[in-house]
Amino acid sequence: MPTQNCCAVIGHPAGHSLSPALHRAAYRELRLDWTYDAVDVTPDGLDAFVRGLDDSWRGLSVTMPHKVAIRRYGEGDELVDLVGAANTLVLGSEPIVRNTDVGGYQLAFAQTGVESADSAIVVGNGATARSAVVALRQMGVERVLVLARNPERAKELKGFCSNALGMLCAVRELAPGQAIESDILLSTVPEGGADHVAEELVHHAAIVFDSVYDPWPTALATAAESDGKTALNGLDLLAGQAVEQVRLMTGGEVSFSLLKSAGQEELKARAQL
Helix, coil or strand: residue 54: coil
How far from 238 is each of 4, 182, 206, CA to CA, in Å? 25, 24, 22
Amino acid at 139: M
In the sheet where 96-98 sits, what is the strand order? 34-40, 5-11, 57-62, 88-90, 96-98
HSE-CB for 154 with a 13 A CA cutoff: 25
Catalytic amino acids? 67
Are the C-beta atoms of residues 267 and 239 closer than 8 Å to each other? no
SS3 (DSSP) at 159: helix
N-term to C-term CA, the chain:
39
Report how far Cα 11 is from the mean position of its chain's Cα atoms.
Answer: 14
What is the C-alpha separation between 236 and 220, in angstroms, rounded? 15
